[in-house]
């Protein structure tokens, strides 16, 4: 199935109430199927979407962050909504994050600070610890922290608190 989807992956939107990248990644995650080529293509689309997206407020950043299944469209395609069976329910498979993190690190200078905050949350909440990424988010966001809205600033602080981050300085 994944091999058949790969050539048409670019046609799918990140999020929608019908066929989209979020529902596709959710289906493979729920089935416990890791298809490395598909996950790599999805990770590349995710990193590009985060770099290209220009949010106005924090909640806008959910749109390109399709590896978090906490979204309005999920009720249309997620039969598991409301049933937190897995510890990481609501988030992509760990293998997807392992492919996504290096791509995000490469594109960090292009990613809007608000998107950085939300993408870090999408790693912290399911406990995908990626210290290099978290350090890069801090380096990207701190110089522009005054541009964050109150929700963005609260989530930025929450992210580091949630992972028990200890600043050396």
**Could you read off the pLDDT of 55-85 as tens digits, one per residue?**
888 888 878 887 877 655 555 445 544 444 4
Tell me the pTM: 0.85
Alpha helical stretches, state H, 35-93: 36-52, 74-77
Residue in the block written with tokens 């939107």: 13
68 three-class SS: strand
User: Following DSSP, what letter does each residue of 82-102 receive, concatenated?
Assistant: T---STTTTB--HHHHHHHHH
**Could you read off the pLDDT of 28-41 as tens digits, one per residue?**
988 999 999 999 99
Residue in the block written with tokens 């905050």: 117
Helix/strand/coil percentages in the chain, nearest 5: 65, 0, 35
Nearest to 62 by CA among 5, 96, 20, 19: 20
């Amino acid at each position: 199935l994944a091999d058949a989807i790969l050539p048409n992956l670019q046609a799918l939107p990140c999020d929608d109430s019908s066929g989209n990248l979020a529902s596709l990644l959710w289906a493979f995650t729920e089935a416990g199927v890791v298809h490395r080529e598909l996950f790599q293509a999805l990770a590349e689309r995710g990193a590009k979407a985060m770099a290209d997206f220009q949010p106005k407020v924090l909640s806008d950043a959910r749109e390109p962050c399709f590896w978090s299944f906490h979204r309005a469209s999920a009720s249309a395609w997620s039969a598991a909504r409301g049933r937190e069976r897995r510890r990481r329910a609501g988030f992509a498979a760990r293998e997807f994050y392992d492919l996504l993190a290096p791509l995000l690190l490469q594109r960090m200078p292009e990613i809007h600070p608000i998107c950085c905050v939300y993408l870090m949350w999408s790693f912290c909440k399911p406990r995908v610890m990626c210290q290099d990424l978290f350090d890069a988010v801090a380096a990207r966001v701190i110089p522009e922290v005054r541009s964050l809205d109150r929700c963005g600033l609260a989530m930025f602080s929450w992210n580091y608190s949630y992972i028990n981050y200890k600043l050396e300085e």
